[in-house]
Chains A and B, each alone.
Chain A
Amino acid sequence: MVDIPYDRIADIPPAEVPDVELYHPRSWWTRYVFSQDAKVIAVQYALTASAIGLVALVLSWLMRLQLGFPGTFSFIDANQYLQFITMHGMIMVIYLLTALFLGGFGNYLIPLMVGARDMVFPYVNMLSYWVYLLAVLVLASTFFVPGGPTGAGWTLYPPQAILSGTPGQDWGIILMMSSLILFIIGFTMGGLNYVVTVLQARTRGMTLMRLPLTVWGIFTATVMALLAFPALFVASVMLLLDRLLGTSFFMPSLVEMGTLSKYGGGSPLLFQHLFWFFGHPEVYIVALPAFGIVSDLISTHARKNIFGYRMMVWAIVAIGALSFIVWAHHMYVSGMFPQFGYFFATTTLIIAIPTAIKVYNWVLTLWRGDIHLRVPMLFALGFIITFVNGGLTGLFLGNVVVDVPLSDTMFVVAHFHMVMGVAPIMVVLGAIYHWYPKVTGRMLNDALGKFHFWVTFLGAYLIFFPMHYLGLLGVPRRYFELGDAAFIPPSAHSLNAFISVVALTVGFSQMVFLFNLAWSLFKGEASGGNPWRATTLEWQTPETPPGHGNWGKELPVVYRWAYDYSVPGAEQDFIPQNQPPAATRVVQGAAS
């Protein structure tokens, strides 16, 4: 072996971006509560999102109790059932998944992965969390106000959302809109940070094409969210004014409780357009970070470079762009001009192409990899399978002629739970098992983790596969009870009871995960700085958990992309991004 010196290392260009002046906390309060450190903010986001997510989980149990055993539980009435549905959906989509992926993982991983000391606007970042917390508290307060939370369904369609007869018409809907407006303001503050940090605060050598796909996913999702959330903002403000001031942006003239209402001329369809202009990109705002994270999990735990990195980046960007021109596929049954339906069906199906590219690339990354079936990898594999399943039923529903009969049935519920419920949650769980050692310095318990994975994975399929069948039978969604409809056989009722039992079991198995999180924090095995032997920068910090400012005195310099696993001839089966070429040139020199 010949050691060829690589003298250009001496000529590293000076840093164009000056090192930032860090804010230094002076007390316990500013270190852990009103902290401006992105890592603390990330944990705050994650804990808040998980707490409100647990509320939504309990709501789903209550719904399943009613659906599985109608008439048995007297404490659930029809109004409450609608309220549970609404709050479950809204919390899970926005307050849990969006906040956890962007506020939680985004805050923790972006500065570490791009080699920055912190987010570029730490104060605004802190404000972002506190406004988010306020939004969550306003939302949670609706459980305690007169009339309870709104029961309008998570889509909040007018006119019924603000008419009497819909539960929560007094306070629930007003607080829901206010909470959404707050959430969007808080998110915009955070989103500005994530985008500008990726654009401006990357360390020397970290070109865009050397970014880990996690950062690409979160970055693109944030850009999308910054452009899509304003549509929800506009819709929320206008609906709030319709409710509070009696304007008629969305409210048509109609008879309410036997008397002609004060409204007139408004367009409920306008609300649907605005809502889904936000609502469809929202699916990808949740999915793209999941795509990015799962790419990194698979590459790390299969000890192989990601297959088709460039194509993966292009696919993320393409999906992000395309997702803005498909929104009306949620409105096939709204009575819109049929030719529009075909336009939107076409764009919807086109999204399948970049998405399929990603799935192929994950599978090809696994192909002949040195696969370690650790818990994060299990969840990543679970994600791929679940996402493909959910994606395939998406092809059904994207077609107008198939969608119309399936609209508003349990088939739709099963589809979106597979594709944007179970699949992203798999990634969230896998990512927690993967990065927990970096956040706490301790490993999560492996046996408990495997138990958690298998119960969750198999349970999710036992819940949602039968639900497709119920949907094909014509069982409608959002119904408090099914009654004695002729087209629903008795077997559908026993299937519903079965689903409920499994759902409760899977729900309770999450307690094992919570126990694992708490127990490992104190008793878990010490992880060291880089337990997975990963290449990306967050694993190369001088301290674990990373200290304030992340990098000690000097920022890291990046020499390579994020996926140098199993490089032939290299000493180890991974080469960290900040390792200079000299150390690896040894063998290349010998080969030439």
Chain B
Amino acid sequence: MSAIILFLAVIAIIAGWWLSQQRLTAKPWLEEGPVGDFPGSDAMTWPAAKIGLGVFLAVASCLFVLFISAYSMRMNVVDWRALPVPRLLWLNTGVLVLSSVALQWSYVAARRDDAEGVMIGLLAGGASAVIFLAGQLLAWQQLNAAGYFVASNPANSFFYLLTAVHGLHLTGGLVALGRTSAKVWRSSKIADVRLSVELCAIYWHFLLLVWLVLLGLLTGWTDDFVNICRQLLS
């Protein structure tokens, strides 16, 4: 459970920093009058959707870190047999990176009011995300064909589970991306959709980051790092 404790420590630091900006030491019973008299603790001025996405990313990270915690506890049991990671995953990773880059492109275009660039970026991002998902399914098929079934070893089970959870998050993102594309299609003013494009890009970067961490875990790259952390903690 050390991974989730570390994660919560990071959340606690962020929350603590934010709370420290909120004048929690104020004596509200003495502070009567309009808000302008007591600066520093107004409501946030970011758009609600952006704060909402931030909170959602914290929840989703928590979910993935908990899976990672379970993974690292379960892998210590003797029956664990790491499975060979299909080469296809590297290609998939490249496609996901492209997807993220395309959405960043779209966001930059939205800031320049370049409607065509926004649409191209969104479509390229969406298409490459679909290719990534298809590639993941293909990787499952390859593993299955090679006899690495979901229940034959906990390492296999975790492989299928983690890739599935990541894929489902990406599928949810595709729904949002589809809605954003439809909005861009209908709307004449890019300013109206700039926020939606930005949020899609942020979510894609987040999922890319999660995928890289999962890939490190599944390929065993991070084993040394995990061991060092474990020694430090014990």
Interface residues of A (CB under 8 A from B): 6, 8-9, 11-13, 16-17, 120-121, 188, 191-192, 195-196, 199-210, 223, 226-227, 230-231, 233-234, 237-238, 241, 245-249, 262, 264-267, 270, 273-274, 277, 305, 309-310, 313-314, 317, 321, 324-325, 557-561, 563-564, 581, 584
Give residues 31-85 of B contacting A (CB, 8 Å): 31-38, 41-46, 48-49, 51-52, 55-56, 58-59, 62-63, 66-67, 70, 73-74, 77-80
Q: Is B228 an interface residue (CB 8 A)?
A: no
A-B pairs with beta carbons under 8 Å apart, 12 shown: A11-B36, A120-B52, A192-B52, A196-B48, A207-B41, A209-B23, A234-B63, A237-B161, A241-B150, A270-B74, A559-B34, A560-B32
- Minimum Cβ distance to chain B for residue A280 (Å): 13
Interchain CB contact under 8 A, B11 and A227: yes
Residue of A nearest to B12 (CB): A321
Q: Which B residues are in CB contact (< 8 Å) with A234?
A: 63, 66-67, 70
Residue total for B at the interface (Cβ-Cβ under 8 A): 55
Q: Which B residues are in CB contact (< 8 Å) with A191?
A: 59
Q: Which B residues are in CB contact (< 8 Å) with A11?
A: 34, 36
Residue of B nearest to A189 (CB): B56
Per-residue contact bits, chain B 10-25, to A (CB 8 Å; 1 contact, 0 not): 0110010001001111
Interchain CB contact under 8 A, A277 and B4: yes
Q: Which B residues are in CB contact (< 8 Å) with A201?
A: 43, 48
Q: Which A residues are in CB contact (< 8 Å) with B78?
A: 265
Question: Knowing A192-B56, A321-B12 touch, does A13 contact B24 (C-beta < 8 A)?
Answer: no
Interchain CB contact under 8 A, B62 and A207: no
Interchain CB contact under 8 A, A247 and B43: no
The contact of A249 among B19, B46, B74, by CB within 8 Å, is: B74
Further 16 A-B residue pairs, CB within 8 A, beyond A195-B55, A245-B150: A6-B33, A8-B36, A12-B34, A200-B46, A226-B55, A227-B11, A241-B150, A246-B151, A247-B150, A265-B80, A266-B154, A267-B74, A270-B74, A277-B4, A310-B25, A557-B34
A12–B55 CA distance with the chains assembled, in angstroms: 31
A196–B150 CA distance with the chains assembled, in angstroms: 39
Interchain CB contact under 8 A, B45 and A16: yes
Question: Knowing A195-B55, A248-B151 touch, does A16 contact B42 (C-beta < 8 A)?
Answer: yes
- Minimum Cβ distance to chain B for residue A512 (Å): 40
Q: Which A residues are in CB contact (< 8 Å) with B4?
A: 231, 277
Interchain CB contact under 8 A, B24 and A314: yes
Q: Is B87 an interface residue (CB 8 A)?
A: no
Residue of A nearest to B40 (CB): A207
Question: Knowing A8-B33, A209-B24 touch, does A277 contact B43 (C-beta < 8 A)?
Answer: no
Q: Which B residues are in CB contact (< 8 Å) with A317?
A: 19
- Minimum Cβ distance to chain A for residue B11 (Å): 7
Q: Which A residues are in CB contact (< 8 Å) with B165?
A: 237
The contact of A192 among B35, B55, B77, by CB within 8 Å, is: B55
A241–B150 CA distance with the chains assembled, in angstroms: 10
Q: Which B residues are in CB contact (< 8 Å) with A188?
A: 56, 59
A-B residue pairs, 7 tightest by C-beta? A265-B79, A561-B28, A207-B41, A120-B48, A205-B35, A247-B157, A202-B43
- Minimum Cβ distance to chain B for residue A244 (Å): 10
Question: Knowing A206-B43, A226-B58, A265-B79 touch, does A9 contact B34 (C-beta < 8 A)?
Answer: yes
Q: Which A residues are in CB contact (< 8 Å) with B161?
A: 237-238, 241
Q: Which B residues are in CB contact (< 8 Å) with A313?
A: 24
Interchain CB contact under 8 A, B46 and A233: no
Q: Which B residues are in CB contact (< 8 Å) with A264?
A: 79
The contact of A581 among B12, B32, B74, by CB within 8 Å, is: B32
Interchain CB contact under 8 A, B42 and A207: yes
A247–B157 CA distance with the chains assembled, in angstroms: 6
A558–B51 CA distance with the chains assembled, in angstroms: 23
Question: Knowing A249-B74, A581-B32 touch, does A207 contact B38 (C-beta < 8 A)?
Answer: yes
Q: Is B5 an interface residue (CB 8 A)?
A: yes
Q: Which A residues are in CB contact (< 8 Å) with B15?
A: 223
Interchain CB contact under 8 A, A273 and B1: yes
Residue of B nearest to A579 (CB): B32
Q: Which B residues are in CB contact (< 8 Å) with A273?
A: 1, 73
Q: Is B175 an interface residue (CB 8 A)?
A: no
Q: Which B residues are in CB contact (< 8 Å) with A12?
A: 34-36
A191–B49 CA distance with the chains assembled, in angstroms: 14
Question: Knowing A120-B48, A274-B70 touch, does A249 contact B33 (C-beta < 8 A)?
Answer: no
The contact of A559 among B8, B33, B74, B79, by CB within 8 Å, is: B33
Q: Is B29 an interface residue (CB 8 A)?
A: yes
From B25, B43, B56, residue with most partner A Cβ within 10 Å: B43
Interchain CB contact under 8 A, A207 and B26: yes
From A205, A309, A563, A581, residue with most partner B Cβ within 10 Å: A205
Q: Which A residues are in CB contact (< 8 Å) with B5?
A: 325
A362–B105 CA distance with the chains assembled, in angstroms: 56
Question: Knowing A8-B34, A13-B34, A207-B26 touch, does A200 contact B79 (C-beta < 8 A)?
Answer: no
